[in-house]
Amino acid sequence: MKTIKSIQNLKNKKVLVRVDFNVPVGDDGIIDSKEDWRIRAALPMIEYLLEKGAKIILMTHLGRPEKYQVSSSKYQACSLRLVAKHLEELLDREVKFVNDCIGDEVEKAVSKIKAGEIIMLENLRFYKEEKNNDEGFARKLAGLADIYINNAFSVSHRKHASVCAITKFLPSYAGLLLEKEASVLSEAINNPKKPATVIIGGAKAKTKVPVIEYLLDKFDNILVGGVVANVILKVKGIDIGNSLLGDIDLDEVRNIDIENNKLHIPIDAIICSNENKVSLSTIGKIGNNKILDIGSKTAELYSKIISDSETIIWNGPMGLFEKEEFSLGTKVISEAVAKVGGCTIIGGGDTIAAVYKFSDLEKIDYICTGGGAMLEFLAGKRLPGLEILK
Ligand code: ADP
Ligand code: MG
């Protein structure tokens, strides 16, 4: 991968950096200092460019504006204005926000930028062309700068204009954070301290379950929870009652070697009835209820495997951890992971939120900004945004 460190002279160069500043912005417009880790993770890259005297232009997406009417308040809430302000506070330096990401106003602002100054563009996903990897749109973005940097590992599994198409029009490099995340994960795949355990849970079963097939080749234990576990149980022919499956096509995942003894599935669960009665049940006796957390026996079993491991990679909570009644499984796993002396890596927005809530992020060796991208990378899939920098 071509990295930005290979460029000697960045003085006065206009550098367009794709970052991932997709952070939760509260209704009060405040970005919680515990939820801004995606922004903080990019600060070394920005500081590096400032030191080199570059002219910095930052671009990112925020939320899913494509789901809303342009005039709606939900669409407006996807503006990066407040994110730019938050970055300004973190850096203690001015960040100029422009109302668009392409067009006259942006070009004017960029033409006035001086060495050591920072401009933040408006949400890339205000243009549908971003997700369509549109070359015309990418060319307009590229026209703003001399050099392009991808510093957003978490979107590098997506073929989007600011990640892929743009590299056709500018000399393109991997940023410090992208390089770091790719190298930490490469090390975890190629040279993991054994035993190495991957924990997969959460709701996005459609993207996560297919990865298990590949992970079984590379790691010693795969522990499943959340909706991911529901799917595995279902494929095994075990009745899961009314539990969620995350609109996955079960035929797509039938080739997972579910009998592989590296694959650990829950033996008990916290279930909830239609009348909202919560109880502990053995797997296989779920009835008409919904599985919303792993049970205490499963949590104990998983904790033992975790504490015997030298490498842990975790993406996806074990249950509906936002609700107290269904949080114990995720809490126990968070605590077990934090105690591991070997290498611990976690990724995914909700997983990071859970570890923050129940344990201590400081005790985790590496926090990966991407969940989906992390799993695809671990499974050995080629991420388009990384391939294109080779
Ligand atoms: P991440 O952001 O860490 O990649 P996901 O986005 O895939 O994780 O999933 C997180 C969500 O999954 C959480 O909101 C959690 O409440 C939900 N979840 C976990 N287990 C279950 C379950 N058994 N049933 C319903 N929702 C679940
Ligand atoms: Mg999530």
Mind listing the pLDDT tens digit for each residue in 13-41?
A: 999 999 999 999 988 889 988 789 899 99
Question: Residue 372's pLDDT is what?
Answer: 86
126 near 64, Cβ under 8 Å?
Answer: no
The pLDDT mean for the chain works out to: 96
* pLDDT of 361 higher than 90: no
User: What's the CATH superfamily of 4-179?
Assistant: Phosphoglycerate kinase, N-terminal domain (3.40.50.1260)
- 204 within ligand 1 shell (Cβ under 6 A): yes
The pick from 233, 350, 355, 369 for probing ligand 1's pocket by mutation, whose C-beta has the most ligand atoms within 8 angstroms, reads 350
CA 121 to centroid of ligand 2, rounded, Å: 25
| 347 CA closest ligand 1 atom index | 3
CA 317 to centroid of ligand 1, rounded, Å: 6
CA 318 to centroid of ligand 1, rounded, Å: 7
Q: Which ligand is nearest to the CA of 323?
A: 1
* Residue ranges of domains in the chain: 4-179, 192-378
Question: Residue 47's pLDDT is what?
Answer: 98
| 317 CA closest ligand 1 atom index | 19
Higher pLDDT, 118 or 371: 118
- 322 within ligand 1 shell (Cβ under 6 A): yes
* pLDDT of 91 higher than 90: yes
Ligand 2 ion: Cβ-proximal residues, 5 Å cutoff: 349-350
| Max intra-chain CA distance, the chain | 68
Nearest CA to ligand 1 atom 16: 320
Question: Residue 165's pLDDT is what?
Answer: 98
CA 377 to centroid of ligand 2, rounded, Å: 17
- 317 within ligand 1 shell (Cβ under 6 A): yes
* pLDDT of 254 higher than 90: no
Topology match between the domains 4-179 and 192-378: yes
Percentage of residues of the chain with pLDDT beyond 90:
91
Question: Residue 371's pLDDT is what?
Answer: 87
* pLDDT of 360 higher than 90: no
Instruction: Give the tens place of pLDDT for each residue, 185-226.
Output: 999 998 899 999 999 999 999 989 999 999 999 999 999 999
Nearest CA to ligand 1 atom 4: 348
CA 164 to centroid of ligand 1, rounded, Å: 29
Question: Residue 35's pLDDT is what?
Answer: 85
HEC per residue, the chain: CCEHHHCCCCCCCEEEEECCCCCCCCCCCCCCCCCCHHHHHCHHHHHHHHHCCCEEEEECCCCCHHHCCCCCHHHHCCCCHHHHHHHHHHHCCCEEECCCCCCHHHHHHHHHCCCCCEEECCCHHHCHHHHCCCHHHHHHHHCCCCEEEECCHHHCCCCCCCCCHHHHCCCEEECHHHHHHHHHHHHHHHCCCCCEEEEECCCCHHHHHHHHHHHHHHCCEEEECHHHHHHHHHHCCCCCCCCCCCCCCHHHHCCCCCCCCCEECCCEEEEECCCCCEEEEECCCCCCCEEEEECHHHHHHHHHHHHCCCEEEEECCCCCCCCHHHCHHHHHHHHHHHHCCCEEEEECHHHHHHHHHHCCHHHCCEEECCCHHHHHHHCCCCCHHHHCCC
Question: Residue 5's pLDDT is what?
Answer: 96
Percentage of residues of the chain with pLDDT beyond 70:
100
The pick from 211, 242, 320 for probing ligand 1's pocket by mutation, whose C-beta has the most ligand atoms within 8 angstroms, reads 320
Domain boundaries 192-378, corresponding CATH code = 3.40.50.1260
CA 350 to centroid of ligand 2, rounded, Å: 5
Average pLDDT over residues 220-248: 96
- Would you name the residues annotated as active-site residues? 38, 204, 349, 372
Nearest CA to ligand 1 atom 26: 320
Instruction: Give the tens place of pLDDT for each residue, 110-159.
Output: 999 999 999 999 999 999 999 999 999 999 999 999 999 999 999 999 99
- 257 within ligand 1 shell (Cβ under 6 A): no
Instruction: Give the tens place of pLDDT for each residue, 54-79.
Output: 999 999 999 999 999 999 999 999 99
Higher pLDDT, 32 or 317: 317
| 351 CA closest ligand 1 atom index | 3
* pLDDT of 295 higher than 90: yes
Task: Please state the pTM of the whole predicted model.
Answer: 0.88
- 320 within ligand 1 shell (Cβ under 6 A): yes
